[in-house]
Structure 1
Amino acid sequence: MASLRPQVGNWYKDLEIGQLFEVVAIDDDTIETQLLEGELCEYDMESWQQLQLESVEEPEDWREVFELSDDDYRTWDDSTAMMDQWTNPLSEIESDVVNGILDEY
């Protein structure tokens, strides 16, 4: 059995049962996957190596299960671009001093 190396974010097909899944986390001896329907599964390294897997492209409709639209799904680049536009909220607070006079309300 040729085993594919697990990589977070990659999609695989279990050829034995025809199930599509994505690797969502890898810990010391554990590989956590999420099935197309949303169910989470966990494999140890030994079990992973015994699977008959094929690397596949991300399914087009995988977000429909979670009712996510394109607006809901952001990539890392989108979130970092928003961080660049973020301003310090303290700069929006009006000063208590106007023209040298303290507002004592």
Structure 2
Amino acid sequence: MKQKLLNISRILLVVLFISYYGGSTFFLHTHETPNGLITHSHPFKTGHTHSQAGFETIHLLSTILFIVYSIFSFKYTKVLYRILHSAKNLLYIHLDLTSNPLRAPPFTA
């Protein structure tokens, strides 16, 4: 039961990410207000408007999301850093494509 709930959670998180990314990528638009230009994204019909409370809500949600994503990414960046630097048996492959290492350097007289 726990594994099934975990699988469903994973799927829902992927769907949430795709819908958020798609919404913020495909529906970007700008409104001209007396206070200046406001650019945001959400699904919309052409010619829609927002109230001042709507603009404030969009700003508040954007700020909250930015803070949450910043904390989340900072937290997991440290975890990823620890994982990568604690691994002992990493295989590093260095390819030098600029020259043949068995050839002597060029000589000019």
Normalising by the smaller structure, the TM-score range is under 0.3
Q: TM-score, normalization: structure 1?
A: 0.27
Q: Which has the higher strand share?
A: 1
Q: Which has the higher helix share?
A: 2
Bigger Rg over Cα: 2
Question: Which fold has the larger relative contact order, with Cα–Cα distance below 8 Å and residues 6 or more apart in sequence?
Answer: 1
